[in-house]
Amino acid sequence: MRNIIFIGMPASGKSTIGVVVAKRLGYDFVDTDLLIQKQEKKLLKEIIAEVGNEGFLAIENQVNRDLNVENAVISPGGSVVYCEEAMQHFKEIGSVVYLQTSFEQINKRISNAKNRGVVLKEGQTLRDLYEERVKLFEKYADYTVSEEGCSLEETIDKVLNLFHE
């Protein structure tokens, strides 16, 4: 196993769980949203405001597609599943783990999607986005870890159990 890549909705815990899993496995942790911000020298919401959703997705695709790491836990943004080249690259360099979270949980955790830099189309609700992305998460996942009824620690244990050597 070379890399573990988390996919899931914004606020599903990709970064939070990713950091702990990386520490426990002795892996590096990579948050690709931070790489995008570093490359563009702007916050995600500023990039989206400037170049729009399609422009942002092109940048997101490029940053994730060009990522060259080994023995890392990678936490990309939730919209990476719209980036075919990036997702193909992830499938080649590691195992893709979908952190499955209910809409109700996501809705509780996200107070302002726009401030968070979430890629929403004009007039699209969080529920619409959730339903659209779930199909893509399921399509790309090598493993699905349900967070339903689990504490953070239980979810982390579920992930680690997938990769015990």
How much is the average pLDDT of 50-73?
A: 96
pTM of the model: 0.91
What pLDDT is attached to residue 115?
61
Closest Cα partner for 73 from 23, 119, 35? 23
Is 34 in contact with 21 (CB distance < 8 Å)?
A: no
131, pLDDT greater than 90: yes
What pLDDT is attached to residue 114?
59
Who has greater pLDDT, 37 or 110? 37
Closest Cα partner for 110 from 129, 92, 95, 91? 129
How much is the average pLDDT of 17-37?
A: 96
1, pLDDT greater than 60: no
For the chain, which domains are there? 3-156 (3.40.50.300)
